[in-house]
């Protein structure tokens, strides 16, 4: 890990802080540079969860969210939609030369730079900064954020974490040479390192839930019932990021739900699990029983796909009774080249179970991977038609090559981009695993699938 450097210049940009309360740890959610970015329950959960652990230990924690769609000083408020989702503030900027073949516009998502500078001028110099980066191809936004933080707080150590740092630590260290790169996902190791750098200056708390309450508004809260996945899909990094399967108790999870429900009035709760239905009888099932018995009115959402193999009629009924509104299944492909989690019979039975439980076709979304190496568009079209015939809604999920996965090597072999050298090329919007994308045909297929979904 890199040592900290304290010779950066530029502190003249800092103004006197408006708040006198000291900040032990500043959590920073950076800008995103991309063709598209949407708040489909997109939160830096690892960063916010770490903030909760730190606050429980007595750290004074503050959040600077550069994606904040609720900031009162935004030139215009981004449009919000259903169940807490919505748009981010968007500013068109020049597209990277790497993507000159992509007929789409590039943008920065998040607060205007001058507004971020005003925010930074109001914050007392923190003793430590934790910066995250959620995707490998979003590192340019994190880098620009990092440079701005360095200009305002040249003496403050910065730890860079997130999926980018964990999957590509060498690239991160080269790109952020004066930051310390967090390569572990073990909370005890991260907390131990932070305690070495900065001791807490506040009072410990009884609870250590993610710090969603540091946001201006809490349109939804994220729940993680456990980490790890029993499957080994060729395109997925779950096993790399979380090698062990760990589960929280139903009692602990129910207490967290009540915390957000009663104290903050949160009604939309989003599961980030990779294998939510696995071991249902001992894990999610008892939790849903408590929710139903308590009679609380909440809406649950599953933006990560549920495993159709585990979706029995009984499970489907429990999902409906407990308030699951957004249900997503993962079919990925109909050829099963890369996905052995479910066969056609199991998938069809899962859809039938959801229909019998009372879900309408539009409420049953099915992810289909789009943009896999050597994938024909006709294959995706066929899969979408199959899903629609079953009484569900096909949703295209554009494939992003993930470093360290078996499919990454195959994608890099045929890609028109240098996937190993440039993480920006992992962006799913550019179809990096297609050697010569037919953009007109791609857009035509997207329109066709949208029509099927209506």
Q: How confident is the model at residue 10 (pLDDT cuts 50, 70, 90)?
A: very low
Pairing of strands 324-332, 299-301: parallel
Q: How confident is the model at residue 329 (pLDDT cuts 50, 70, 90)?
A: very high
pLDDT tens digit sequence for 81-99: 999 999 999 999 999 999 9
Give the model confidence (pLDDT) of 243-260 as tens digits: 999 999 999 999 999 999
pLDDT for 192 equals 95
Q: Which of 423, 52, 392 shows the shortest CA–CA distance to 209?
A: 52
pLDDT for residue 5 is more than 50? no
Average pLDDT over residues 160-181: 97
On average, the pLDDT of the chain sits at 94
Domain ranges, ordered by start, for the chain: 15-197, 220-453
- The confidence band for 20, taking pLDDT boundaries of 50, 70 and 90, is low
* Residue 62 pLDDT > 90: yes
With a cut of 60, say whether residue 8 has pLDDT above it: no
CATH no. for 220-453: 3.20.20.70
Decide if pLDDT at 181 tops 50.
Answer: yes
Mean pLDDT to the nearest integer, 11-30? 69
Assess contact for 380 and 444: CB atoms under 8 A: no
Cα 125–chain centre separation:
28
185 band by pLDDT with thresholds 50, 70 and 90: confident
Mean per-residue pLDDT, 342-353: 94
* Residue 100 reports pLDDT greater than 80: yes
pLDDT tens figures, 186-207: 888 999 999 999 999 999 999 9
CATH number listed for the domain at residues 15-197: 3.40.50.280
- Amino acid 318: pLDDT: 99
What pLDDT was estimated at residue 187? 85
pLDDT at position 332:
75
Give pTM, 2 decimals: 0.93
């Amino acid at each position: 890990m890199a040592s900290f450097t304290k010779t950066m210049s530029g502190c003249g940009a800092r103004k006197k802080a408006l708040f006198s309360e000291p900040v032990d740890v500043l959590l920073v959610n950076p800008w995103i540079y991309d063709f598209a970015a949407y708040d489909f329950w997109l939160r830096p959960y690892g960063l916010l969860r770490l903030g909760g652990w730190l606050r429980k230990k007595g750290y004074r924690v503050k959040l600077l969210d550069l994606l904040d769609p609720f900031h009162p000083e935004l030139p215009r408020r981004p449009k919000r939609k259903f169940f807490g989702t919505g748009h981010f503030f968007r500013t068109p900027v020049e597209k990277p030369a790497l993507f000159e073949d992509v007929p789409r516009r590039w943008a920065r998502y998040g607060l205007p730079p001058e507004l971020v500078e005003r925010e930074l001028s109001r914050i007392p110099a923190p003793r430590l900064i934790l910066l995250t980066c959620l995707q490998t191809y979003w590192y340019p936004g994190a880098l620009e954020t990092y440079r701005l933080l360095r200009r305002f707080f040249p003496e403050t150590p910065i730890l860079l974490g997130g999926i980018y740092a964990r999957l590509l630590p060498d690239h991160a260290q080269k790109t952020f040479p004066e930051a310390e790169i967090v390569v572990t996902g073990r909370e005890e190791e991260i907390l131990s390192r932070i305690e070495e750098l900065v001791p807490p200056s506040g009072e410990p708390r009884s609870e250590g839930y993610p710090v969603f309450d540091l946001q201006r508004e809490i349109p939804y809260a994220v729940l993680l019932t456990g980490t790890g996945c029993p499957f080994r899909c060729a395109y997925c990094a779950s096993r790399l990021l979380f090698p062990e399967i760990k589960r929280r108790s139903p009692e602990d999870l129910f207490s967290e739900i009540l915390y957000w429900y009663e104290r903050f009035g949160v009604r939309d709760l989003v599961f980030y699990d990779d294998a939510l239905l696995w071991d249902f009888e001992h894990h999610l099932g008892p939790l849903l029983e408590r929710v139903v018995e308590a009679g609380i009115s909440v809406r649950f959402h599953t933006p990560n796909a549920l495993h159709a193999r585990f979706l029995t009629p009984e499970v489907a009924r429990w999902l409906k009774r407990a308030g699951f509104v957004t249900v997503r299944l993962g079919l990925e492909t109909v050829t099963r080249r890369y996905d052995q989690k479910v066969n056609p019979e199991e998938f069809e039975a899962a859809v039938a179970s959801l229909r019998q439980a009372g879900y309408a076709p539009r409420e049953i979304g099915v992810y289909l991977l789009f943009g896999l190496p050597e994938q024909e568009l006709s294959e995706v079209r066929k899969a979408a038609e199959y899903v629609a015939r079953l009484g569900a809604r096909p949703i295209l999920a554009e494939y992003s090559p993930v470093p360290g996965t078996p499919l990454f090597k195959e994608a890099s072999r045929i890609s028109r981009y240098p996937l190993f050298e440039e993480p920006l090329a992992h962006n799913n919007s550019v179809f990096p695993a297609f050697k010569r994308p037919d953009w007109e045909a791609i857009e035509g297929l997207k329109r066709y699938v949208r029509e099927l979904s209506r």
